[in-house]
Amino acid sequence: MRRTLLSVKEVAQELGVSVQSIRRAYWRGEIPAYRINKMLRFDLERVQQIFLANGSARGVRPSSGRPTAPAGGAPRKKAPAQ
């Protein structure tokens, strides 16, 4: 089986967390990464397992091949000025 190695930005997007959260977890030794020259690459399935076990990610789901839905909703309405 061939591993899918993703960049920090791609992993963060898949898991629904910030890029900084992925970097912080790597620096702390919580998630493994592969160094290819100067680039970091992560095995998405392994990182998902770790985040699910730690309860760290909000939107982590098993990979289904579907894009994640954007967070948020309708913008807030401002109260009328009096």
φ/ψ bin of 57: left (φ > 0), alpha (ψ from -120 to 50), beta (otherwise): beta
Q: Average pLDDT over the chain, rounded to whole?
A: 79
pTM: 0.62
Q: What percent of the chain has pLDDT over 90?
A: 49
Domain boundaries defined on the chain: 5-54
Res 46 pLDDT > 80: yes
Res 6 pLDDT > 50: yes
One-letter-per-residue 3-state SS of the chain: CCCCEECHHHHHHHHCCCHHHHHHHHHCCCCCCEEECCEEEEEHHHHHHHHHHHCCCCCCCCCCCCCCCCCCCCCCCCCCCC
